[in-house]
Each structure stands twice: as structure tokens, then as C-alpha cells.
Structure 1
Amino acid sequence: MDLIPKPDQVASAAGNLAHQVFYGGLADLRPMPRTLIDEGTLREVYHYRPAAKVQEQGEPVLLVTPLAAPATCYDLRRGCSLVEHVVGTGRPTYLVEYGQVSFKDRNLGMEHWIEEVVPAAIRETSAHAGGRPVHVVGWSLGGIFSMLALAADADLPVASLTVVGSPVDVSLVPLVAPFRPLLNWAGGRGPITKGYQALGGAPKPLVKWAFQLSSFQKLVTKPVAKLTHYDDADFLAQMEAVDRFTAGMIAYPGRTFGQLYHRFVKGNALVDGTFDLADADGTSRTVSFADISVPVLVFAGATDGIAPVASVKAVVPLLTGSPEVRFEIVPGGHLGMLTGRAARDTTWSVLDEWVSQWSAPTSDDGPAPSGDGEPAIGTGRRRHGSGASRSLAR
């Protein structure tokens, strides 16, 4: 809006204000309809129902959420929803999320997601989609979990992997630099360690605060930005949707938070492309990004404060076993690069091209059984009605 608003800008601003006051907001926050197809300990796998008059065909896409983030990261609002976009292309679309983390989950470590949750979600997605290989898309920590899961199990039915804003070299994250002198305080038994152990993890308010801190400048300038854009309904709607996303942050389990803190933040454990996994029987093994044998697409956000470009790009030379690695810098911060207004013409467009490039040719007949008896999408798989989609409104 101009410093001296024009009459049409004043009229638009007044209309937007009235809509917020009388209708509660401008954003269309309706979640995309979905059905729960599989569940386990902190694992819920959903299939998004096809758009009207759109027949699902081709290989499925599985969206992997990071810990602490609600599924709205992929389904922010109508018009800025990656879920809505992928469903609209006709591809079978799935998502794995983790439900509400509580104190009773405090003993779960990263191995739970790397060796159980993500692999199970990939297999269930493939089975539900008629045995087709899966295009896995992971944002932030979801991308790191996905890479480690594929490094640990080469037999997973995966066609390609896309990681979005996943920092591998944490030493290149300026946000962490001011806190480095505190990380080894008291021999690793400082107030942070004692705090998360006492709380059983990182509670929701702390997670929300940390995410907001990562975009501190935007948080401070938010009132001014809102005031100067009151004539822009789409801008205001995006702010409403991001506020809803931030309010929906989920807690971190204690042991997982401890591993992330000590091994990722303090130890920069992924910088050489390897990671030690502790198995249930007490033994450990080392997995390597070099063992990932599928094509990998890596996105970095140009203005991402949580995962700066250099920290994300550090993974590219480590993926030596991949037949192709593509690196793209796209507009936006940590969330904006995934589901911001500019993502519609940048990130999503590149993702569409990538998935098509690494998909097998699809019959014009869609997902009906083929001559060799390949089942249709959803055939013979356990399904739960909409009433069972417990997290639909989160």
C-alpha cells in the first residue's frame, strides 16, 4: 500500500478489515480431505483423496513431516498448499505425521523415525498405491530422516528423494553461532541438558518460540508489514495461515531432542555423511549418505535462516551413490520455500519436473489393474473413514 493510499487501496483495506472482523479471517484454511491408511507408535499415514473428476495415476508422492511441525506445513492454506497442488496433478498423494508427542514418549530416539516410522510409511504408501515405487519428499528434519532411512535400508521401494531445507553442516548455520560457547558448558551437563531431561523433551511453547526466534526480524516487523499490506488480501491470508501453522507446533520427545542437541547441534554429526544408529538389541551400526542409491533433488531457500544455502548444499558431494543429484536455490525462508506464495512457480514447478523425470511411463488407463495383475490404488488395503482422521484439523 502506498505511503499516501489511493482510493482503491483504502477501499480494499477496508474490505479486508471487515472480512477479518466479521468472518474471522481471509485465509481458506480448510484441510485437504484425507483418509488414514496406517498407524503405529507416533506414526499416522494418510492418503489424500483425489480431486473431483481427477483420476489418480502414476507413482505416488509421500510427504514426510519433520518432528515438531504440524502437517499444515504441506497443507498451509488453499492456494498455497503443496498437498493441493500434487493432488491436482493426479498423482496419488500421501503424508506421514506423528501425532501429539507426550511425556510417555520421552525414551524414543531418532532410530524410531529412521528405522521404523519413515520405512513403514514408505512401504504402506507403495502397497496402497498398487506396489508402485514412491517419490519421497522431506522438509527440514523430515528430509534428514528420509535420507538416513534410505541410507539404512537400500531395499525400500523408492523412485526418488527430494529434501527441502535440510541442513547437514550445522557449523554453517549463523543462528547457532552465538550459542556455541554455551554448548559445552559444564561438560555437556549444562542448563539445556538438565532442562530437557527434566521436562522429558522440548515442550510445545518452547518449540514455537524457537521457530519464531529463527525469523526474529520478520516477527519484529510483522505489525508494520501487515499495516502496509492491508490492501493485499493474499498477503494477509498468508500471514494468517503461517500464524495457524506456528500455533500448531508439537513437542520433541526427550531422547530424540537430546540426540539432536548433542549430536547435530554440538557434534555436527552429519558433516561427513555418516551417522551411528543404535539398534534395539544394543548393537550399533554406521549408515552413510553414500549408500543412497536413488536420484536426489536438494532444495535450499535463498533467505532461510534455519537452513542457510551453504549448510544444505553440503550434502551434495556426500551423495556419491546417487545416479543423479540436483541442487536448486529457490526464493523464501524455511517455510516460505516450501509453501510460500513464490513456491507455486519455483519449488513446486521444479518438483513436478523432477518427479516426472524419474517416474515410469503411465498407461492412459490410469491405476486400474494391468495385464500382470497390478492392483489399483487402495485395493485390499486397510482404510479408515474420515472420522478416524484424528489430525485432520491440526
Structure 2
Amino acid sequence: MSVLGGVLAAAGNVAHRVRGGEFADLTPWPRELVDEGRARYLYRYDSVDSGAPVLLVPPLGVPDTPFDLRRGCSMVEHLAPQRPTYLLDYGPMGFAERDLGLEHWVDEVLPAAVAAVRERTGQAPHLVGWCFGGILSVLAAARLGVDAIASLTVVASPFDFTKLPLLMPFRPIVEATSGHAFTPVYRAFGTIPAPLVRAAFQVSALDRHLTKPIAVATHLHDRDYLAQIEAVEHFTANMAAYPGRTVGQIYHKFYRANALAKGSIEVGGTLIDLAAAKQPTLLIAGRSDTIAPRRAVAHLAEVLPDAEVEFVTATGGHLGVLTGRAARTEVWPLIDRHISA
């Protein structure tokens, strides 16, 4: 684009915003609810009936949009014309869900969703999990075995919590209080409220948050860039709460004991050996991810000795590696190839 063309495009975009216009098309891909239970909603997107089914597994605490961020930058929009596409959602979390722990997601929610997809399609689904959804997917795969789940794609999921720089400043406090510094918080609220989840997500990308006005000013000519910024802001504004029991288990088992990195974790009274997850696994880390840096993500390969694991890095931060503009050409084709192998 010429300099003059860029100036004219920027002026047009500013005028569009002043008139109250939006850049991002946030129209969700059509879907229907096909199965539900407590904190479990399984949706089938409007997709083809043939091909290997895929089950998208988001983390807790986020809206159900990370896989369907906006038109033109939606993994669902990419997958639906190729294969049956399902999404697992958890619904709103409140004080009533404070008793839900890891065992609820690993022993009930994921197995029920996997079984429902298999019943409808006649095939074991390929799981694509992002962030905590990737951790849940691996734990479920270890629990259910190779016949229940065809493959794993794990995106931006940390498996060694000693390699998370954002958490390192809190270690002295944790050690000084024998690990009880943060326990009263989640016990008092019953959940980690949505505003705190949203604030944590923003703090994790504080550098980009502070420099966003400059970035926007230098990209005023790029409507696709502005649409992505708008869509991410909408995503962040709609964070959900985390159930207190799950938060406590993540804190004590993942952070304090670093159990995932050691390869086994007790869930609901049963010890899960991660090495039992023997499905072909695609492991993806964002090169600028400050929440789940590549070293923390890559550690999963060390605790899956019997699985064929491919580890790759790609452009983007924690959300961007999954559904950023570069993901359309870098990450989604890798997932296509992995599922089709």
C-alpha cells in the first residue's frame, strides 16, 4: 500500500470509528446444544458430517469464544467445512460451583463429552485443548486410554510451573506461609471472581496492554488488525469465574508440588500417570507467550515417553498463538495435518 493509500485508509477507519462503527464481525458460527450436564455443555457446530471429529476444549474462566473469535479469524470457521466440529463449554461459574474440583472435569465432564461425540459420529474424537483445556485433555487421555481419544493437540498449556516467570515473585510468600498465603482468598469467595480472572489475563500481557495505543495508532490503516484488537478486547471483557475447589487444587498440586512436571497427579483419590496418554500429540507454544512460555509447554514431551510428540513454536502470545492473525497460516494447517495423519 502506498503512503497516500495508507493515509486515506487510516482516515476512513477513524471516520468509521467516530460514527460508532465496529471493525470485528463477532457473529458466532451456528451451533446447537447436543449434550449437557452439570457445568457441561457440548455444542456441535454447523459442520460437515464426514471426516474425523474434533472436540475443542477451552480452559475454565474464559468465554466460549477463543476458538471462534471473529469471522475471518476463527478456528471453528476453518475446521467446520472439513470435519464434524464440537465444542465443550462449562457455562457460568458462581458460588454454587465452589465444590467442583479437578475430578469433576477429568472424571465426568471430559469423558462424557468424548463419549457423546463418539456416539454421534462413530469415531473417537481428536482433542484440541488450549491453556488449561490442554492440561485437562492430557489428564483425560491418560485416564480414558488410546481407544477413546484419537489424538491430542495441546496449545499454550504449561506442564512445568517452575518455568512460569509470572509466578516466580510469589514463591517467597508461599514458602514463608507454608503454602497457605492464598488459601483464604478462594475459600472466602468460593470462586476466583471474573474481574480477578480478567485482571490476571491483562497483567500477564501488561507490556502489550500499555503499548496498545501506540500499536493502534501505527496500524490505523489496517482494518484487519483493528478488528483483531477489538475481538480480543471483547474476549477479555467476558472472562468467567473459576470454582474455588479447582483453584485450590491448581495452586497446591500444579504450583506448589509441580506434580504435572513430575509426571503424575492425584485426582479424586486416584493417581493419574501422564505417561498413560499415548495418543499422537501435537504440542504448540507461542514464541511471545508470557503465561505459558515455550519451556513450560515443551516439558509435556518429557512425561509422555510412549507417545509420538511433535513440539513446535509459532507466532503469538497466549491467545494469539491459537487464534491470532498468523495462526491462520502457521498453526491451523499444522493441526489439520496432525488430525489427518
User: Which TM bucket (shorter chain)?
Assistant: over 0.9
Q: 1:24-64 deviations in whole A, cap 9, x for unaligned?
A: 310111000000000110000000012xxxx4311100000
TM-score of the aligned structures, taking structure 1 as reference length: 0.84
3-state SS of paired residue (1:329): strand
Greater shift after overlay, 177-186 or 164-173? 177-186
State whether structure 2 residue 25 is matched by structure 1 residue 35.
no
**Higher helix proportion, which one?**
2
3-state SS of paired residue (2:152): strand
The number of residues matched between the two structures is 341
- Give the counterpart letter for 1:140 in structure 2: C
The one of 120, 125, 130 equivalent to 2:117 is 125
**1:173 corresponds to which residue?**
164
Q: Bigger radius of gyration, 1 or 2?
A: 1
The one of 329, 333, 337 equivalent to 1:349 is 333
Q: CA deviation at 1:285?
A: 1.8
**1:205 corresponds to which residue?**
195
**2:274 corresponds to which residue?**
289
- Give the counterpart letter for 1:228 in structure 2: T
- Give the counterpart letter for 1:119 in structure 2: P
Q: CA deviation at 1:196?
A: 1.4
Retained in 1: the 8 A contact 2:146–2:278? no
CA distance in 2, matches of 1:330, 1:288: 29
TM-score of the aligned structures, taking structure 2 as reference length: 0.97
**1:218 corresponds to which residue?**
208
3-state SS of paired residue (2:267): strand
State whether structure 2 residue 242 is matched by structure 1 residue 252.
yes
3-state SS of paired residue (2:259): coil
CA distance in 1, matches of 2:102, 2:6: 51
State whether structure 2 residue 72 is matched by structure 1 residue 79.
yes
**2:59 corresponds to which residue?**
66
CA distance in 2, matches of 1:184, 1:19: 53
The one of 270, 286, 296 equivalent to 1:301 is 286
The one of 85, 91, 96 equivalent to 1:93 is 85
Q: CA deviation at 1:6?
A: 3.3
Q: 1:264-302 deviations in whole A, cap 9, x for unaligned?
A: 122212111111012xxxxx2211111112111111111
Retained in 2: the 8 A contact 1:109–1:259? yes
Q: CA deviation at 1:23?
A: 4.6
Query: Structure 1 stretches (4+) deviating beyond 4 angstroms?
Result: none
**2:96 corresponds to which residue?**
104
Retained in 2: the 8 A contact 1:80–1:344? yes
Retained in 1: the 8 A contact 2:101–2:246? yes
Q: CA deviation at 1:126?
A: 1.3
Retained in 1: the 8 A contact 2:160–2:297? yes
- Give the counterpart letter for 1:184 in structure 2: E
The one of 318, 321, 325 equivalent to 1:334 is 318
Q: Which runs of 5+ in 1 are unaligned?
A: 279-283, 358-394
Retained in 2: the 8 A contact 1:62–1:93? yes
Q: CA deviation at 1:13?
A: 1.1
Retained in 1: the 8 A contact 2:146–2:277? no
**1:378 corresponds to which residue?**
none
- Give the counterpart letter for 1:333 in structure 2: G
The one of 287, 290, 311 equivalent to 2:296 is 311
State whether structure 2 residue 8 is matched by structure 1 residue 11.
yes
3-state SS of paired residue (2:187): helix
Q: 1:53-87 deviations in whole A, cap 9, x for unaligned?
A: xx431110000010111121100001110010001
Q: Which runs of 5+ in 2 are unaligned?
A: none
3-state SS of paired residue (2:128): strand
Alpha-carbon RMSD: 1.4
3-state SS of paired residue (2:171): helix
State whether structure 2 residue 184 is matched by structure 1 residue 194.
yes
Q: 1:115-143 deviations in whole A, cap 9, x for unaligned?
A: 111111111111112x1121111001000
Question: Percent of counterpart pairs with the same letter?
Answer: 48
CA distance in 2, matches of 1:156, 1:203: 38
